[in-house]
Amino acid sequence: MAGSWSGTMQALQAVDTEYTADSVEWCPVEGCQHLLVCGTYQLRTPEDQPALDVSEPQVRLGRLYLYSFNEDNTAKPLVEVQRRDSSAILDMKWCHIPVSGHILLGLANANGSVELLRLMEYEKNSYTLQPISSLILEERCLSLSLDWSTGKPGRYPRGRLGGMVVCYLRKIWGLEEDGCDGSFCNASIQEAEAGGFQVVGDQPLKMISSDSKGQLHLLMLSEGAAELQRVASWPAHHFEAWIAAFNYWQTELVYSGGDDGLLRGWDTRMLGTPVFTSKRHSMGVCSIQSNPHQEHILATGSYDEHVLLWDTRNIKQPLADVPVKGGVWRLKWHPVHPHLLLAVCMHNGFKILNCQKAIASPGSHVTQTGFNCLCLPSSGIKGIRHHRPPFFILLMQTCQLLSECVLTEWLPLVEVEGRHKWRLISFA
């Protein structure tokens, strides 16, 4: 049953990003939640370059913007504080926690790299993003997505989970037998740290990224210099691997979705064969997110216009199958309420899904509240991001699969104005 929103919207601000806005993220770290980054993507047109050589890759231009939001400035609450030209940006995410006292941002870009930037405060309330590390994942491909292993609030308890991750590191370094039961020991943590990786609590700090050749790449952050290091790369899909995401409760497990229509799970301690392969989606799988509040709950979305809700202990049958009348480019769980899921659809606005009954009683109906105000002809919404407090959602409109775009609050929203503009909107 679809619900409806009876409130009104008020445009707060329109922003012209020149290139197509492709990815937007509010900083989740306490004290910097007023900061926003926007990444852009633009394919260089034939008239902008010399005679085209079909053997050469197309040039994809990008720019990274850093904004500061001041809700007291009603005339212009969002102010640009930095811009930086780069290769086109396809995805980016802030690390959910400070690392060695620094706030980090990861970028996936069109030259096949993952880049790491550090937020610097050079004077009171004045910030800049400083590049500190870049790692080329693969030549002549696009890095399509990334995720940090830090998505679960209040994670890193000492116990079995930490031991399992450390044993995974021990196996990588050839220090552990295959029969390891994942039991925890302080010596194992010391070995992880001795290997040169950042360890937060019991957990090494990890990233997962996917690329246009169908590969996944597991990265870790080295201690001290905060440099990205490749741990493993492996073929995961026959075509583009649109999305890769961690199981936030067991970060040795990752999920991937590809243009081949497959949803796959991987145990990064034993690469080579997927833990599972699901063909339940009938088209490309382009969105995945583990529920950060409730273990074993996973949401996936596809070009087939369905959101599937899973209990990862039984991947044969989803808990719920929700048609949303638009390809589901991004999914995002509410940062506070564990049963609310936001689905951003390419041709039918976005939906807020109440999954409470489906989680408690598999097969139960998932209620929807639909917002169609963002639908534009021949376009759709590409991605969503959360920020609190106040709680913001970022919505990106797609044009030919690669974004127009924009921002909003829960419940405020955003609307697109033309090809390179977005508007910040609040609900009355």
Give the strand pairing for 380-381 and 386-387. Answer: unpaired
Residue 239: band (very low, low, confident or very high) from pLDDT cuts 50, 70, 90:
very high
**Pair of tokens at residue 100:** 């060695």
- Residue 30 CA to residue 95 CA, distance in Å, equals 12
pLDDT of residue 394: 39
Q: Is the pLDDT of residue 400 over 60?
A: no
Query: Across 259-391, where does the E strand assignment appear?
Result: 263-267, 276-278, 285-290, 297-302, 306-311, 320-323, 328-333, 340-345, 350-354, 367-371, 380-381, 386-387
Q: Is the pLDDT of residue 51 over 80?
A: no
pLDDT tens digits, one per residue of 291-310: 999 999 999 999 999 999 99
Q: Which of 156-160, 176-180, 323-327 has the lowest mean pLDDT?
A: 156-160
Q: Is the pLDDT of residue 407 over 70?
A: no
pTM exceeding the 0.75 threshold for the entire prediction: yes
Cite the residue boundaries of each domain of the chain with CATH code 2.130.10.10.
2-45+57-156+202-427
| Mean pLDDT value of segment 18-45 | 87
Residue 224: band (very low, low, confident or very high) from pLDDT cuts 50, 70, 90:
low
- Residue 111 CA to residue 125 CA, distance in Å, equals 33
Q: Is the pLDDT of residue 182 over 50?
A: no
Q: Is the pLDDT of residue 264 over 80?
A: yes
Using an 8 Å Cβ cutoff, are 28 and 35 in contact? no
* Residue, of 25 and 290, whose pLDDT is higher: 290
pLDDT of residue 312: 95
Average pLDDT for the chain? 75
pLDDT of residue 382: 39
* Residue, of 162 and 337, whose pLDDT is higher: 337
Residue 32: band (very low, low, confident or very high) from pLDDT cuts 50, 70, 90:
very high
* Residue, of 229 and 224, whose pLDDT is higher: 229
Cβ count near 137 (within 10 Å): 24
Question: Alpha-carbon dihedral of residues 324, 330, 335, 336, nearest 10 degrees?
Answer: 10
| Mean pLDDT value of segment 108-117 | 95
Q: Nearest CA to 108 among 5, 214, 211, 219? A: 211
* Residue, of 409 and 124, whose pLDDT is higher: 124
pLDDT tens digits, one per residue of 379-398: 233 333 433 323 333 333 33
pLDDT of residue 253: 96
CATH topology of domain 2-45+57-156+202-427: Methylamine Dehydrogenase; Chain H (2.130.10)
* Residue, of 297 and 53, whose pLDDT is higher: 297
Q: Is the pLDDT of residue 338 over 50?
A: yes
| Mean pLDDT value of segment 182-206 | 53
* Residue, of 67 and 157, whose pLDDT is higher: 67
pLDDT of residue 52: 55
* Residue, of 36 and 2, whose pLDDT is higher: 36
Q: Nearest CA to 119 among 27, 225, 205? A: 27
Using an 8 Å Cβ cutoff, are 37 and 65 in contact? yes
pLDDT of residue 24: 81
Residue 373: band (very low, low, confident or very high) from pLDDT cuts 50, 70, 90:
very low
